[in-house]
Amino acid sequence: MLKRKRGGTMDSGRINLMFMNTVVLVGVLVSAIPFIYMITASFRHQGELYSLPVTIMPREWTGHNYEKLFGDTKFVIWYGNTIFTAGIRTVLGVYFAALAGAAFAKYDFRFKRLCFFIVLATLTLPFHVILIPLFLLMRDFGWIDTYWAVIVPGIVGAFNIFLMRQYIEAVPDELMDAARIDGASEFGIFHRIIIPLVRPALGVVAILTFVNTWNDFLWPLVVLHDDAKYLLSIGIGTMDGPYDVEIGAIMAASFLSTLPILIIFVLMQRQIIAGLTQGAIRG
Amino acid sequence: MSASAMTAKRSLEPGAVSSWWSRNQRKVIPYIYLSPFLIAFLIFTVYPAGASFFLSFQRVRGFISPEEGGGVVLEYQGLKNYERLLTKDKRFRTALINGAEFAAGTVLIQMPLALGVALLMNAPHVRFKTLARLAFFAPYITSAIVVAWIFTLIFDQRYGLLNAVLDRLGMGAVGWLTDKTFVMPALIILGLWTWVGYNSLFFLAGLQNVPEDLKEAARIDGAGTLRVFWHITIPFLRPVFVFVIITGLIGSFSLFTQPYLLFDSGSGPQDSALFPLMYLFFMGFENFRMGYASAMGFILTVIILMITGLQLLLFRLWKV
């Protein structure tokens, strides 16, 4: 792909290309530096971080921040809590979104348009309006300080339904009809034909749901008050308060909590981006 | 079990329920498939939205503990909450103005930048594309909390990375988080870092959707690069513009996590980092004025819906 330019291209073209490559590289650097700074800061002493001159690389590397993080905070518990809640929410969320997506993509029913309109409406409804009554509802359910409150309310994401519908539409009707003639039930068709055929899409929806749950802050902050129940986002967000830890330890926590998300993204970037941009280009 | 055996078995057992089911399965199943969504929608969206509307005319006087049945003690207030928000509450106005400023920064700076990045990524022969895609997308998937913590270091007045860079360039140190005139620029910078790359991916997807032969035809007809861009590429990107602007606007009014953390659970010097959703949170969960906060939620929703509607209208006009 890179070697396609021939030897005798115009000079202005080459300069242009060099300029564009430089701009891309600068962009990459600007994006990357805060991450690099986060990582190096997590290996620094507090005093060094708050001294001049400002440098990106540590003058002296230290594991002190990580010791503090694991020794003085509930970081490991938060990590476990987050994996647990994000995991359950993802599995259920993907399954329900696929079911709803299949209903829209493959069946005709009386209230189809109305139902789809509802999906689109929830997509645009700002969270503001329901934040307070939803909190009061959780309180009445006795769900405050339980993971029900984090997992259940947003379990069937409208965007996920929308995505699943797009993908399931591509499943050939003939395949489903053939299965029907063979006597398969509709549930059987869903589990044995639709699900295996849209597995890549399930992966995308799963990742998006997982990352969203992993990163969400406001809602967990509202419904989880006991610091042993915290998720990573609230734990890290409030670490400076009760634990009186230094910024280096916060950077260590930030680094470790971002790592799995970044790894997932590196491995699946093409699929994730394709999934995310699906809706927007079609309008 | 083979297929023929299965059909045979069914015809042998003509139980009323199972034959009804086999006849009507396809009509009923979509509702079953949709039921998790619809039930969750009724309980966790419709009911709260209704309750919010009801609450917005009330004042919360106290709480009943869940052991005693739960709920809140309310007092009817009529339109008082709305009246106060729209005419008297200066902080609400500040929050709206801040939201609008951030939105303007988002739309006017972020969108052209994102489009530029997308054009670069779409240009033939440009290198580092895979790396760039990764780098540009990483900020978006990083938790807002982590981003905010990193930027507290970067924006630090004395020891921050940004002022160190400015110092190299011969400019003075700026109080990004302490001087009220620089708070909004700081937040916009943070927003650019987080969202330019993300939005560029949408533009990139849109660019790759522009039919090449259409551009080719225009070129054969003698249109220059700029004209092709303006008359063919840009109109094809219309849905992307709509998407990016609308999500950007909604995001601006819902900004919460980053300012909340950057300013130590506060609203910044002289409310310079007070955003609507944040103010709603403070009112509802710190002052427990939940009726007032609900009214605020409704006003915000109406504003957002109006802007969204206006946008859609403008873009529809543009198409013609």
- Final residue before a domain boundary, out of B31, B48, B80: B80
B285 neighbors B63 (Cβ within 8 angstroms): no
The per-residue pLDDT for A11 is 65
ipTM, two decimals = 0.86
Burial B90-124 (b: 16+ CB within 10 A, else e): eebebbbebbbbbbebbbeebbebbbebbbbbbee
Catalogue all structural domains in chain A, each as residue range(s) with its CATH number.
Answer: 2-64 (no CATH), 66-282 (1.10.3720.10)
CA dihedral A170, A171, A177, A183 (to 10 degrees): -160
The pLDDT score that the predictor gives to residue A243 is 64
Tell me if B56 is assigned to some domain. Answer: yes
Residue B298 shares a structural domain with residue B209: yes
Which of B59, B80, B101 is at the close of a domain? B80
* Residue bearing the bigger pLDDT, A200 or B55: B55
**pLDDT recorded at residue B210:** 83
**Mean pLDDT over residues A92-119, rounded?**
91
Final residue in a domain of this structure, among B60, B80, B100: B80
Higher model confidence: residue B30 or residue A54?
B30
- Is the residue at B302 inside a domain? yes
Q: Which residues of B touch A50 (CB under 8 A)?
A: 156, 158-159
A112-147 pLDDT, tens digit each? 889 888 888 887 777 778 888 899 889 888 899 999
pLDDT band with cut points at 50, 70 and 90 for residue A34: very high
Q: Is A257 on the interface with B (CB under 8 A)?
A: yes
pTM, two decimals, is 0.85
Answer whether residue B46 is part of any domain. Answer: yes
Same domain, B297 and B149: yes
In single-letter form, the type of residue at position A35 comes to F
Q: Are residues B157 and B286 in the same domain?
A: yes
Is the pLDDT score of A153 beyond 50? yes
DSSP A185-240: -HHHHIIIIIHHHTHHHHHHHHHHHHHHHHH--HHHHHH--STTT--HHHHHHTTT
Q: What residues contact B94, with CB distance under 8 A and at least 6 apart? A: B271, B274
pLDDT for A14 beyond 90: no
Q: A127 Cβ partners below 8 Å, 6+ apart? A: A218, B254, B277
B52 and B126, same domain (yes or no): no
Does residue B194 share a domain with residue B73? no
Tell me the average pLDDT across A32-53. Answer: 86
Which of B9, B20, B37 best tests the A interface by mutation, with the highest count of A CBs <10 A?
A: B37
The candidate with the shortest Cα–Cα distance to A37, out of A46, A49, A28, is A49
Give pLDDT, residue A103: 93
Report the number of distinct structural domains present in chain B: 2
For chain B, what's the residue count?
320
pLDDT at A84 over 90: yes
Min distance B267 CA to chain A CA atoms (Å): 15
Q: Is residue B2 part of a domain?
A: no
Percent of chain A with pLDDT over 70: 93
Q: Looking at the DSSP assignment, which residues form a beta bridge with residue B59?
A: B75
Domain containing residue B52: 16-80
Tell me the shortest Cα–Cα distance from B226 to chain A, in angstroms. 16
Distance CA B296, CA B289 (A): 11
SS3 state at B76:
strand
Name the pLDDT band for A7 (thresholds 50, 70, 90). very low
The verdict on B227 and B98 lying in the same domain is yes
User: Residue B258: what pLDDT?
Assistant: 92
Is residue B42 located within the same domain as residue B135? no
Residues B166 and B254 placed together within one structural domain of the fold? yes
Distance CA A76, CA A164 (A): 34
Residue B283 lies in a domain: yes
Is there a domain that residue B6 lies in? no
Q: Are residues B25 and B89 in the same domain?
A: no
**pLDDT confidence band for A4 (50 / 70 / 90):** very low
Please tell me whether residues B59 and B102 are part of one structural domain: no
| Same domain, residue pair B34 and B50 | yes
At residue A124, the pLDDT reads: 72
Higher pLDDT, A232 or B229: A232
Angstroms from A140 CA to nearest CA on chain B: 5
Classify residue B8: in a domain, yes or no: no
Interface with B, mutate which of A134, A251, A281 (most B CBs under 10 A): A281
Interval A45-59 mean pLDDT: 79
* Per-residue pLDDT tens digits for A202-219: 888 888 889 888 888 989
CATH number of the domain bearing residue B207: 1.10.3720.10
Residue B94 half-sphere exposure toward CB, CA atoms < 13 A: 16
**Residue at B10 is within a domain:** no
CB B41 within 8 A of CB B66: no
Say what the pLDDT of residue A13 is.
73
Single-letter amino acid code for the residue at A72: D
B196, B49: one domain? no
Residue numbers of chain B with a pLDDT score lower than 50? 1-12, 320
Could you say which of B159, B250, B294 has the minimum Cβ distance to residue A54?
Answer: B159
The distance of A66 to chain B (nearest Cα, Å) reads: 16
Contact at CB, A130 and B44, closer than 8 angstroms:
yes
